[in-house]
Amino acid sequence: MQKRNMPSAIGERVRKLRGMAAISARELDRLAGISESHTSLLERSIGDRISARTAVAIARVLGSSLDWLLTGRGLEPTPERVKEAVSSARKPPDPPRESVHPVA
CA separation, residue 40 to residues 10, 14, 22, 44 (Å): 12, 10, 15, 6
pLDDT of 20 reads 96
Nearest CA among 28, 12, 33 for reference residue 82: 28
Q: How far apart are CA 90 and CA 85, in angstroms?
A: 9
pTM score, whole prediction: 0.81
Nearest CA among 10, 8, 9 for reference residue 55: 10
Q: Which CATH number fits domain 9-90: 3.30.830.10, 2.40.50.140, 1.10.260.40, 3.20.20.190?
A: 1.10.260.40
Q: How far apart are CA 37 and CA 43, in angstroms?
A: 10
Q: pLDDT tens digits for 23-63?
A: 999 999 999 999 988 999 999 886 667 899 999 999 999 99
